[in-house]
Amino acid sequence: MARTPSPKKRIEELRSQVRTHNELYYGTDSPEVSDAEYDAMVRELRDLEAEHPEYVDAESPSETVGAAAFTTFDPVVHAVPMTSLDNAMDEDELRAWGDRVAKGVGDQPVRYVCELKIDGLAISIRYENGVMVQAATRGDGKVGEDVTANVATISSLPKTLVKTAPSVIEVRGEIYMSTAAFEKLKAEREAENVQRIANNRATLAVPVNPRNAGAGSLRQKDSTITAQRDLSLWSYQLGEVVGGPEFTSHDATLQFLGRLGFPVNPEITVVDSFEDVVAFCRKWQEHRHELGYEIDGAVVKVDDLGQREQLGFTSRAPRWAIAFKFPPEEKFTILKDIQISVGRTGRVTPFAVLEPVFVGGSTVGMATLHNRDQVAAKDVRPGDTVVVRKAGDVIPEVVGPVLSKRPKNSQQWEFPTTCPCNVGSTLVKLDDQADTRCVEPSCPFQRDQRIIYFASRGGMDIEGLGERTVFALSDAGLVADVGDLYSLTAEQLLTLEGFAEKGAQNLISGIQISRTRPLPKLLTALGIKHLGPAAADSLSSHFGTLDVIASASEEELSSVDGVGGVIAASIASWFSKVENINIIEKLRAANVEFGHVEISDAPQTLVGKAVVVTGTLANYSREGAEVAIKSRGGKSPGSVSAKTFAVVLGESPGASKVSKAEQLGIPVLDEAGFEVLLETGELPTN
């Protein structure tokens, strides 16, 4: 049994580990642990140092900021130190900080400035007599790196200021790579790796997230490379200022920065109560993925500069500010194996079998690898330490490997050439497609996945018919296709292991109830390639019954709004196959509804108009608003485009949709305006 190290030894171990990870994160932009793991190390170190003051050391990484500047760039001494922030990992810690602030300023009321915590690289940019003369990274807070030439390539950054600007002004902010710029860079690198593999050349590291990609881009020796990476800046603080106006609040400094031409984040909010601070943090934790850039928390600052003086600093951070960290969406873990799954259309998807890790609110043991090209481009291998990402409700994804931890005997993973099913058919990849497919229609994996899809919530929504039950039914030979579901009996189910009488009756009841699902549900559930719910809805409204759709020509099908040639060809092909006609006849014999289309008697005021609803409305649920629009002949897409007629704003709307509407000049309505639009089809006049 391993002995627990003494407090002194554990402190020394943690200090060594934190220093190493500081260098990797701040110095080379190649971290080997996730932010959450790093934060846990620092917290453990601080707790141990607090419990054992006899081991306190002023040089401990718990008392310092960032990492020392590297020799790649010239050192820059900051005229005003660039401090870090203390973290609040949950709401209780955030409120505890608020209590300390209130106690520190006595009975004075406190205003707070709430900002988004941009996941980028801190920067200080110095102007003298209106001209940018230097830009430096934070480094260890006292000495950073001179990256002036690279920062000068950022298009949103003013290179000269107005004549009335202070004679000296240092602007502090965060340089970041937008989501769009990151995806572009990542796609380019992956495409290059595919070519390198084809030419038997070593692959290049694929950037795993916008923060590391942005920081690496900023540290390029050649500034022309940085210029190609499309970096951006948000400014949020002043450093040294000579000859400038006197400020009494942080909010005033932000307004001043905006007037000088510096980009200031539009989501910054000033509030008068701490409950509003908490509400701000909750809102952006929920809506973080609606932005065009990555955030990993919120920053809360006391607005009054006089109160900041009262509160002061600790050895490493101001007492008047706190960073509220969102739950981590990236973790590092071991990729134990790479396997493949076969979907309902025969598409073969590689997936990672992982050492289970808690990320994005749940424990993840498997994650998608998308397709064979993605595995090759990322060059992930069994045994690798990998970055796993689970953003919101998105399926977990392996972002890439940590190359510095790759085992020495590592071998590239080879994509299988045959299907793992008992048919063992050859897997096919067409030259013009990214997907590899099993083209054997009798493949049992495809059969089972088609049945699972048919019974899913987006299809016929059959309660109780999940994956395990489908596998049991097909293994027992009771179900060969979706048409066989409607001839099942409770007696047959009771012969299967794990089925009791109540469960059997409930499943039979769920299958019977599904007979009356509306036509768009049935059409979607059939799993026709390329045909999704929106097109199924349009086809059902246009043709009325499944039989009419089945007999329609490609030309007739493609004329329906939202269908087009590719979907039309796929539908016509599906209904031309004997095995699919047999399924339809089984469904007909089971009295499954073939023509249940909701006919609205509402006035058709919105024909040809697309209306986007974002946020929470008082009198409509999200689905209710969509029904109200569609029942009047309109469309209710999930995103704003140039074709959008109007955007309806409820409480806590999506910031990206509001921003897009403003950019495109799309009219924005409140709920009262929405009611007018539904009734008249016109925008309200006032």
Task: Report the distance separating Cα 31 and Cα 189, nearest Å.
Answer: 19
**Are 150 and 158 within 8 A, CB to CB?**
no
Which residue type, as a one-letter code, is found at position 657?
K
Query: What count of other Cβ atoms lies within 10 Å of the Cβ of residue 502?
Result: 9
Q: Beta strand 644-649 with 668-669: parallel, antiparallel or unpaired?
A: parallel
Count Cβ atoms below 10 Å from residue 424 Cβ, excluding itself: 11
8, 9, 103, 117: the active-site residue = 117
Q: Within a 13 Å sphere around the CA of 349, how many CA atoms are in the beta-carbon half?
A: 18
CA-nearest of 684, 607, 622, 609 to 653 is 622
Q: Is 630 a catalytic residue?
A: no
Question: Is-contact 421 342, C-beta < 8 A?
Answer: yes
CA distance 571 to 565: 10
Q: Which long-range contacts (CB under 8 A, 24 or more apart) does 584-591 make?
A: 584/483, 584/546, 584/550, 585/483, 586/481, 586/483, 586/484, 586/486, 586/487, 587/482, 587/483, 587/486, 587/522, 589/486, 590/483, 590/486, 590/487, 590/515, 591/515
Asked whether 557 and 600 are in contact (CB, 8 A), the reply is no
DSSP letter at 297 equals: E
- The β-bridge relationship of strands 397-401 and 385-389 is antiparallel
Of the candidates 121, 137, 120, 159, the one whose C-alpha atom is nearest the C-alpha of residue 74 is 137
- Contact criterion met (CB below 8 Å) for 518 and 536: no
Residues 206 and 190: their CA atoms lie apart, in Å, by 7
E strand or H helix at 270: strand 269-271
User: Can you tell me whether residue 583 is helix, strand or coil?
Assistant: helix
In contact, 128 and 166? CB cutoff 8 Å: no
Torsion of CA 443, 444, 448, 449, to 10 degrees: -30
Quote the distance between the C-alpha of residue 182 and its chain's center.
13
* Residue 210, amino acid: P
Q: What is the DSSP code string of 275-292? A: HHHHHHHHHHHHHGGGSS
CA-closest candidate to residue 359, choices 396, 399, 405, 323: 396
3-class secondary structure per residue, 308-357: HHHHCECCCCECCEEEEECCCCEEEEEEEEEEEEECCCCEEEEEEEEEEE
Cα–Cα distance list, 363 to 84, 264, 306, 357, 359 (Å): 31, 37, 46, 5, 6
Cα within 13 Å of Cα(628), Cβ side: 21
β-pairing verdict for 75-77 and 295-302: unpaired
Q: How far apart are CA 238 and CA 264, in angstroms?
A: 12
**Residue that the structure tokens 């108009």 belong to:** 609
Which residues participate in catalysis according to the annotation? 117
